[in-house]
Amino acid sequence: MTVLHLADEGEAADLAAFLSRLLHYDRSAAVRLQAAGTALAVFGRPPSFEVLVIRAVRLAKPYENGLDVTLDVTVSAGELLESVDEKAATAAVPGAVTGPPWAGVLPPRGGWLAETGLPAPDALRGLVAAAVAEFRSRTAELPDDRRTRAELDRTGREIWSRTVGNTRLPVRVVHAAQSLGFLRAAQESGEPESRLYSSGAWLRLRTPYGSVAVRTAGLGALGVSVR
């Protein structure tokens, strides 16, 4: 069995928390794992947000025997979570599963250019709070005969498809970052603030705790809703 040796207990705890949040939105969630050297990238797609989320994990060594090989496999998020041993800082890679369509269309590895106009983290968190409050207020005002899934989704699309500040980034990307634990309050460790990057049709919001990527062209309208 392939065993991943994580850098420390904190990395193991963060990985477990990330997987738990994904499973909150989709109990049958799958994740794609890509590892090389001492870096592991975990890709997921919470269905409520229509985005890709990426958690980078530091490894102490690649595999059980420290073999210098790469890993690229799609597995059950639930089985991976069950295998995480926080005290030992290890995780066993489950057997591969048939990957969902999104797992075959990942953001590019390189070619990312920095974008300007992204508000500060505190402002991003405030933006999400205001959007959630607006959604709840508007849907609460709907008469019973209009409180349908289609109407809720329409309202959600309108709110979450708005762009952030002077950027092309949809608000739903920031909402996903907040919900997945990527927009935590700043710490005193001098960690960099959130950054926005673009590569072709892709936009990526990167924070010290993870990234959220969205393809802004070629996918058509995406329906989103708050659950």
Q: What is the DSSP letter of 120?
A: P
Q: How confident is the model at residue 190 (pLDDT cuts 50, 70, 90)?
A: low
Residue from 210, 156, 192, 165 nearest 41 by CA: 210
Q: What is the DSSP annotation of 191-222?
A: ----EEEEETTEEEEEETTEEEEEE-SSS---
pLDDT value, residue 145: 87
Residues pairing with 196 in the sheet: 115, 205
Q: Which of 46-55, 81-90, 132-141, 213-222 has the lowest mean pLDDT?
A: 213-222
> Does pLDDT of 5 surpass 70?
yes
pLDDT tens profile 119-172: 988 899 999 999 999 999 999 998 988 889 899 989 999 999 999 999 999 999
What integer pLDDT is reported at residue 62 of this predicted model?
73
d(CA 111, CA 195): 15
Q: By the 8 A CB rule, do 63 and 1 touch?
A: no
Average model confidence (pLDDT) across the chain: 88
pLDDT at residue 70 in the model: 80
Which H helix or E strand runs over 55?
strand 52-61
CA 51 to chain centre: 7
Higher pLDDT, 34 or 67: 34
- Say if residue 63's pLDDT is above 90: no
- Domain 3-104 sits in CATH at 3.10.150
pLDDT (0 to 100) of residue 66: 61
**Of residues 39, 54, 71, 55, the one with CA closest to residue 202:** 54
pLDDT of res. 223? 35
Kindly state the greatest CA–CA separation across the chain.
62
- Least confident range from 5-14, 56-65, 168-177: namely 56-65
Please tell me the predicted confidence (pLDDT) of residue 67.
60
Write down the domain spans for the chain: 3-104, 113-215
